[in-house]
Every structure is written in C-alpha cells, then in structure tokens.
Copies of this chain bind each other. A is one copy, B any other.
Amino acid sequence: MTIFGGIEAGGTKFICAIGAPTGAVDKKITIPTTTPKETMAKVIEFFKKNQKQNQFLAIGLASFGPIELNQASVNYGYITSSPKTEWNNFNILGVLKEIFNLPFGFDTDVNGAALGEQRFGAAKGLDTFLYITVGTGIGLGGIIDGKALHGLTHPEAGHIFIPHDKSRDPFSGICPYHKSCLEGLASGPAIKVRWQVKSALDLPDDHSAWNLEAEYLAYAIANFILSFSPQKIILGGGVMRREGLLKKVQLKTKEILNGYIKNKNILTNIENYLVAPGLQDESGICGAIALAEVAYQNSLIDRF
C-alpha cells in the first residue's frame, strides 16, 4: 500500500501522521511546540516507530515561518526569523533529512493547508484560490494557476495594512513590527489585549468585538479579492470557529466591495465563495501528506 508521512508544524503544536493519497489520515499524534530539541525528538520518534510497521515513501513538512523555500539558498529548509526565538535559524528540514533517507516535501503551513483543501476539501477542481488562517497569527497561502504561491520568499499577508479608524477603535495594535497591521489588529492575541480578556474565547457571540473583527478581516479579504482575483477563499484557524463570524465576514466583504467586482460568485453567492475549510482541522495535515506524495513523484522523475 502506498503511504506517506506528513508533519503540520505549527507555532502551538505539531501534528504528525501517516496517510494515503486518498486523503485518509492514520495514526495522527499531536506534539506541543516547545523547544526544537524537545519537539523534534518526539517527531523523529513517531516516524521511526511507524517506519518499522509501515514503509512510508516520503515525508511532507508544512511549517510555520518565515521559512526559506529557495532550494538554491544555503538556508533552504530553515525556519528563518521567527518571533519564537528558539526556532530562529533552525534547520527544521535538515534535522529530519539527517535521520530519514527519503524524499521530502517542504512548504509553508498555509500553502500545505491550501493543497489539502484542493485535494480533498473545499477547493476541489480549482486552480486559483486562497487559504487564510486566523488564529495566534494570520497567514495566507494559495494556489495560483495550479502552483503554490512562493515568489521571492513566501506571502506574509497577515501583515498587510488596512483602514483603521482610531476614533472607533483607539487600540494601537500588537504587531512588534507594524503595530496596527492586520495581524496587529485582528489576530487572537490582538482581540485578547484589546478587550482585556484572558482569551478571545471568553467574549460572548453577541459582543461588539466580533463586528470589529469581521470588519478588519473583510477589508483584508476585499484586498485579496482585488489583488489575486481568486475563484474561492477558504477561512480557517481558531478565531474563525466563532459562531456567526464567517457570516459577518461574508456580509461585510460584500458591503465593502460595493458591487465593483461584477461576478455572480461575489454578487449573489458569497456564502459559497468565502467558506470554511472542507477538512475542518485536517487541511494542514492532509496537505503535508500531499506534499510528501508530490515529492515522491518528483523523485521518481528525477531518477530518469
């Protein structure tokens, strides 16, 4: 049986699994993100154990970042300038390659999630779409004309700048680089600090916090629609699980665009255009397994 290993490396937790190209995920485990030494030891232990039982053919790693994706760079495979200082300049791919003599796929966590959704979730059959995660951070991944979006480095679109009306929201934002960029105003930690609660989870569904949150996300989404012209946008991450938030974001995005983009998907069908992930919490790990499959196929081609 053809099986692959996948790692969804997040800032809070790592998910490791073995899976098939059909999208079936097996033997999934969750490891807290502490230090590279501690966390990676557990990741390696998981795959070593499974390698004895199930001969998987490749491993896909979808990682939090920023990461170096340029294969020509000496830092290819590194987490580069993470705010998590212990993971700064850490060769996350290299550590695994030293142990496992297998083909490796490597991309951002959000591009991984986008790939997972394209294969098995809400983006089946699409070639140009975006995946946004709103949680501890805000991240953007995407497939553009069939290929994962990379460019010079990779998108860091959680940090885009949007209108911020200080007369209505005097909160100055928490981004250490930009203060009131999107992530500084609308990430989970920003909600927590603005409303002085222990967790964004403590705010009730009818709190005005969620109207403000919907507005900031809608401005960002409008910008992404105007810039990328995607066929669909998938909204994942912990903050988006809030009851009613997706609906608010849909309505606000349509209001902000104000009929400018004359496409029926946006004008009359936005509930099927801005959507929740089809794979719920498994977009990332399914995408990591898909990355492994692609790496395996490329390794077969390279042999000839």
Residues in chain A within 8 A of chain B (CB atoms): 66, 80-81, 128, 140, 144-145, 147, 149-164, 177-178, 180, 219, 222-224, 226-231, 256-263, 265
Contacts and interface: CB of A to CB of B under 8 A. Distances in A.
Given A145-B147, A162-B161, A164-B163, A152 B265 contact: yes
Given A161-B163, A161-B256, 11 more contacts: A66-B262, A144-B144, A145-B147, A152-B230, A155-B229, A156-B226, A156-B260, A161-B219, A177-B257, A178-B260, A223-B223
Nearest to A222: B161
Contacts of A226: 155-160
Contacts of A161: 162-163, 219, 222-223, 256
A162 B163 contact: yes
A153 B228 contact: no
A262 B81 CA distance: 8
Contacts of A160: 222-223, 226-227
Interface centre among A164, A178, A231 (most CB of B within 10 A): A178
A126 to B, nearest CB: 10
A227 B224 contact: yes
A149 B223 contact: no
Given A161-B256, A162-B161, A223-B160, A229 B261 contact: no
Given A149-B144, A163-B164, A155 B228 contact: yes
Contacts of A230: 151-152
B229 A151 contact: yes
A145 to B, nearest CB: 5
Contact of A150 (B66, B149, B229): B229
Please name the 8 residue pairs, one residue from A and one from B, whose CB atoms are nearest each other, closest first.
A151-B229, A177-B260, A128-B151, A160-B223, A157-B227, A145-B147, A152-B229, A81-B262
Interface centre among A222, A257, A260 (most CB of B within 10 A): A260
Contacts of A262: 66, 80-81
Contacts of A128: 150-152
A172 to B, nearest CB: 13
Contacts of A163: 161-164, 180
A7 to B, nearest CB: 23
A80 B180 CA distance: 37
B153 A261 contact: yes
Contacts of A140: 227
Contacts of A177: 257-260
